[in-house]
Every structure is written in structure tokens, then in C-alpha cells.
Amino acid sequence: MEKEKSDEISYILATPYTIAKSRTGGVISRLLSRLDLELVGSQIFAPSKELAEAYAASLEQNTPPHHEDVNLPSAGRLLADYVRQNFVPSGGRRHRVLMMLFRGTDACKKLSDVAGALYQENRGPESLTGETIRDTYADLILDRENPHNVRYFEPAVMTPRNQETALKHMKVFADFIDSEPNLIDNMTYPEPEKIERTLVIIKPDNWQFASSRPGTIIDMFSRTGLRIIGCKVQRMSVAQALEFYGPVKNVLRDKLSPVFGKKATATLEREFGISIGEELRREITNTFGVYYAEDQFGQIVEFMSGIRPEDCPVDEQHNPGKVKSMVLIYEGIDAVKKIRDVLGPTDPTKAPGGTVRREFGSNVMVNTAHASDSPENAKREMKILKIEENNCGRVLKDYIARVEG
């Protein structure tokens, strides 16, 4: 029983308004910095009218009131009405919702605690502390003379209060998100030829312990005004890392081999008190220098996949890696340049203040995030990482089958 409890999975949804207002990063920061749960899935999807209605019906049936004040409207009804009004398509356009799946002991309770209550005991502004996500981002304004009349309601996030309810809701979502594309195409632009898509990876160094860093990085990218149209948790395989960073290998060899060949030569001359001729210098560069450059490439692969390429059997190179990243797809005018301007140059020590790499990077390899350097490379990188695929639907279905089996 304890093992099952430790493997509990629950979800939290960032609402369309939260995403549209670029509050996604702030929400993720709260979740990741305050939870000892594992993020096992993340997907942006655009609910259909049928899905929204099914979710609303499940909320009405399975969500008990979260308050004791009989003058307040039912929480289940309030949330159901919100979903019917805000999750359904409008003007022929579906709206983006972000689902995040967390696994661990008491996942439902912990997510619910960080999300915060719908109803505060005292709803005056001075009583709000900003402690929970809803304290900071949600609004509930009631008519003073008629508390049953909700003038304005925005919950910011949606999450179930118990595992039984979570399971029922997840059944509603599982088939839908598993069949939906992982990239949202719900926007009509006046000049579509100017629109670019670019790929961002929030690298493994941001996921080593509970931290607000991934959310803060997303928040920094939000100042570009670009739209997030895709998101997934990625465990890059060795094969993917080798292909993804393949173009870097020759660059490293060309740039590093002469540098470290020269350093090795100087060390030998100093240690042994000899003078090394030009022919031997070239030999050292073509051997030790090349070896060092290839070792650096192996370190990059290991950093991104968690496995040194030479330590990974060929028949295991396509298995998911041992470390986690998050992949995001941004869309908009000059998307590549805007993201890279916020990201900063490869070497964090040379990055301007206020850039992601200046804030969080350590060195040219552990530099916190990757961003495509051209629309063409963005397409190449999306293909390698299979951006059209997402594991959220599979995680939901496997969990449902395990619990019910």
C-alpha cells in the first residue's frame, strides 16, 4: 500500500488565462520549488468543446465543496461553470491549457496545498499573503449583497483534492491528449510568412533538486511576447544527443585541438626540459588535441543524456536517458532572435546582465538552456527530439491501468 501511495500521480492545469498572461513561468516556479514530487509529464493542449463539457461534468459530480460557508456557491459548480466558459473554443479557436503530471507520496494533497484554496476565510486584500498560486494569480469577486452571485472568477490553476477524483478526471483527459498534436496550431497571423518557430531546452542542470529555476527561465523568455505552443518533459537518449550535437563535434575538434595540443606541448617542454619540433607539435595536436576535443563532446552527450556514449551499448542508445530536460516550442515574429537575445551567448561569463545564461549558467557546457540558432535548425532539432510525440497520454493510461488493475 505504501509503495502505491509513493507512486501516486496527480495533475495540475494552468488555465488559458494563466498562459495568455504569461504567468506560466511563475506557476511552474511555485510548483517546482515547493514540491518533493517528480514532474513526469507536461503537455500543452487545446480542449475541444466535447472535452471541456466532459471535464465540467466530472467536476460537478466529483468535486466536493471546499468551504463551510453555505452562502458561497459550490466549488464544483463554480469550477464547472468556469470550464464551460473558458475551456471551450471561442471565435472558432481553441485555447491553450498546460497539463503537468507529478508523481510521489500524497501527490494530490501536495499539489492542492501549493495551488491553494478557492475560498479564503477572509477575502480582503490585506489578508492575502501570496503564499499559494491562487493567492498570487487567482481572483474570486463576489457580490457583497448576494454572495451566491460571482462577479468574476479566475482560478489560475485546476487540480483535484483527492486521488479518487484525480483518477476520474485523468480518464477524461487520457484519450484526448494522447490523440492530439503536441504543437498547438490555433492562431491566424496577418503575415504568416514572418512567423517562426524555435526550440528551447531547459537543460538537466536545472532539474537536479527542487528549484524555481525552470519556471524563472520560462518567465524570462516570456518577455519576448512569443507564444508557447508546445511543451514536454524530455529524457534525451544517447542516440538523440549524438545526432542533436553532431554538428558541434567538428567545431570542437577545429577549435580545441590546436589549443590543447599547444598546452600539452608546453607542459611536456616544461616538465622534461626539452624542445619539441614542429612535426611533433602537429602530431601532439592531431592525437592528444583531438582526443581532448572528442572527450569534451562525450561530456556534452553525458550532460544531456546522463550516459557517456562509449559506456552505452549500441542496442541501448535509443532508450530514454537518465537525466531530465524540458523542451519548449515558441512561435512568433523573429522568434529565433528574440529567444537567443534573452538566452545570451554560449559562454555565461560573456553574457550580458539580465540574460538567462548570465543569471544561471556556469560554463560553456553547463549553460542552463539551449535555443535553436535558425528556423532551419529549429526544424532539425524538433525532428530529432520527436516534438510531435508526448508521453503524457501514455503516463495517464499506464497509471489508470495500474490503479484499476
The pLDDT of residue 124 = 52
Q: For residue 329, which of 181, 198, 186, 185 has the smallest C-alpha distance?
A: 198
At residue 145, the 3 state secondary structure works out as coil
Q: Are 116 and 13 in contact (CB under 8 A)?
A: no
> Torsions phi, psi of 377, nearest 5?
-70, -30
Q: Which residues contact 375 (CB under 8 A, 6 or more apart)?
A: 196, 197, 198, 335, 336
Within 10 Å of residue 171's Cβ, how many Cβ atoms?
15
Q: Are 336 and 221 in contact (CB under 8 A)?
A: no
Instruction: State how far the Cα of 213 lies from the Cα of 133, in Å rounded to an integer.
Output: 16
Write the CATH number of the domain with boundaries 2-182+390-404: 3.30.70.141
Question: Grid coordinates representing 118?
Answer: 478557492
Question: Grid coordinates representing 87?
Answer: 475551456
**Active-site residues: which are they?**
370
Q: Are 192 and 53 in contact (CB under 8 A)?
A: no
**Helical spans, DSSP H, in 116-221:** 133-137, 163-179, 213-221
Domain boundaries, the chain: 2-182+390-404, 241-316
Instruction: State how far the Cα of 94 lies from the Cα of 44, in Å rounded to an integer.
Output: 12
Adjacency order of strands within the sheet including 97-103:
38-45, 97-103, 9-14, 157-158
Instruction: State how far the Cα of 313 lies from the Cα of 219, in Å rounded to an integer.
Output: 39
**What DSSP string describes 25-52?**
HHHHHHHHHH--SEEEEEEEE---HHHH
Question: Grid coordinates representing 95?
Answer: 485555447
Instruction: State how far the Cα of 127 lies from the Cα of 277, in Å rounded to an integer.
Output: 77
The pLDDT of residue 128 = 56
The total number of residues shown for the chain amounts to 405
Q: Are 42 and 392 in contact (CB under 8 A)?
A: yes
**What DSSP string describes 328-389?**
EEEEEETHHHHHHHHH--SSGGGSPTTSHHHHH--SSSS-SEEE-SSHHHHHHHHHHTTTT-
Question: Grid coordinates representing 214?
Answer: 525552470
Q: Give the count of alpha carbons within 13 A of 61, CB side only.
A: 12
Within 10 Å of residue 388's Cβ, how many Cβ atoms?
12
Q: What is the pTM of this model?
A: 0.89
The pLDDT of residue 255 = 76
Instruction: State how far the Cα of 85 lies from the Cα of 74, in Å rounded to an integer.
Output: 17
> Torsions phi, psi of 165, nearest 5?
-65, -40
Residue with cell 590543447: 260
Q: For residue 58, which of 137, 140, 174 has the smallest C-alpha distance?
A: 174
Low-confidence stretches of the chain (pLDDT < 50) are 1-3, 65-68, 121-122, 126
The pLDDT of residue 83 = 97
The pLDDT of residue 386 = 97
Burial group, residue 52, by CB count within 10 angstroms (0-12, 13-18, 19+):
buried
Instruction: State how far the Cα of 293 lies from the Cα of 250, in Å rounded to an integer.
Output: 9
Residue 69: alpha-carbon gap to chain centroid: 38
CA distance readout (Å), 94 to 179, 186, 369:
16, 6, 30
